[in-house]
Amino acid sequence: MDSNGRISSFVSALLGAGVVALVVIGLGLGGAFNGGGADAATGGDSDDGEGTASSGAPARNVTDVSDLFERVRNGVVYVQVGSQPDPTEPPGGGLEDLLPGPGGERPEPQGSGSGFVLDDEGFILTNQHVVADAREVQVRIGDAEGLTPARVMGTDPGSDLAVLKVNPDDLDEELDPLELGSSKDAEVGNPAIAIGSPFGLTGSLTTGVISALDRPIRAPNNFTIDGALQTDAAINPGNSGGPLLDARGRVIGINAQIATSTESNSGVGFAIPIDMAKDVIPDLREGTEVERAYLGVSTTDAPQGGALVAEVRPGDPAQEGGVEVGDRIVTVDGEEVGESADVSTLVTAKRPGDRIEIVVKRGDDEESLTVELGDRPDEAG
């Protein structure tokens, strides 16, 4: 199994649904970075030294991001959720239900997480698992004293994202949206800053770097979220839905998961890429379902490159198009497949109903197959 596979099986999924204990861990970051400059910012954009309050100049030293924090703090949101208990289940249900392996005591049916302001209309982005099955959602925006009711506009378990809405007229101050950056330009070693409410401790900031790119992580519906950013910035239960920022204070990811054996930070956290979020936010704002293309195969990495078909689901598009177990997929619609994850990435970029060409190696022969993609089921089989 490759490193991505090991991490995927090790990921403890879905923070922020509930907290059963508070563990305080001392973290020292002194000397982690030298002077940042323009190239330290995600994307390596050049800077003319005239950063504005919205875009910001790159942090000079990621061990001191006080100016950045003051600039973005009022765009970060604490999310408090009251969940509707299932009358057929014992009381509780939360974090331990979402972590692999045995859990601790079941918490009360209420949890918390984080989010951030998208615009001055009152739209807020968070994780789907933070607000799943919520009966009531309230938020505290920035340094506000009280909680404000929020409406869940749309949720998408396939990307683990949700959009909330508050009425700006209910707020004492104007909204302060965060600037969205681009995750595709992130590089390993770029500074990464996480802000959220770990263990309910609102307005908490941690720093680190982008540790790895393109990690596959598991969505709440058991499909794969491709392209996640891995960071060593401390992320803990309650950080879910909060922003992962670059050195200019632009959002490049949405903190979502950790790999852990203790249900707390171990220096391996994962953020959903903001570029994926940009694709689904319009649907979530409108409360419409996010549609995704579906092929209907399970694949593994082939030793000679490509994706080896391990399963073809009966009646699904791949079978209808002639894909067979044992085929080695080498291209999808003209794009080379180097590993198994590439198939998911390339199919997800399409729409249901699209017809694609899949080239497979079958024994000593090469076959070109035409497949009409279907609608992805609500959950992975």
- Candidate list 211, 240, 264, 298, residue with the active-site label: 240
The reply to whether 160 belongs to the active site is yes
- Candidate list 156, 160, 226, 316, residue with the active-site label: 160
The count of other CB atoms within 10 Å of the CB of residue 237 is: 31
Q: What is the DSSP string of 320-357?
A: HTT--TT-EEEEETTEE--SHHHHHHHHHTS-TT-EEE
Tokens of 279: 């694709």
Q: Rounded to an integer, what distance in angstroms lies between the CA atom of residue 284 and that of residue 164?
A: 9
Tokens of 365: 């022969």
Q: Rounded to an integer, what distance in angstroms lies between the CA atom of residue 175 and that of residue 111?
A: 24
- Candidate list 83, 112, 129, 246, residue with the active-site label: 129
Q: Report strand pairing: 191-196 vs 243-245.
A: antiparallel
Amino acid 114 reads S
Sign, Cα dihedral of 12, 18, 20, 26: positive
Q: Is 119 helix (H, G, I), strand (E, B) or coil?
A: coil
The reply to whether 47 belongs to the active site is no
- Residues sharing a CB contact under 8 Å with residue 44, sequence separation 6 or more, in sequence order: 38, 185, 187
- Residues sharing a CB contact under 8 Å with residue 165, sequence separation 6 or more, in sequence order: 121, 122, 123, 124, 150, 151, 153
The count of other CB atoms within 10 Å of the CB of residue 85 is: 16
The reply to whether 3 belongs to the active site is no
Q: Rounded to an integer, what distance in angstroms lies between the CA atom of residue 118 and that of residue 128?
A: 16
Q: Are 82 and 91 in contact (CB under 8 A)?
A: no
- Residues sharing a CB contact under 8 Å with residue 363, sequence separation 6 or more, in sequence order: none
DSSP secondary structure code for residue 203 in this structure: T
Write out the catalytic residue numbers: 129, 160, 240
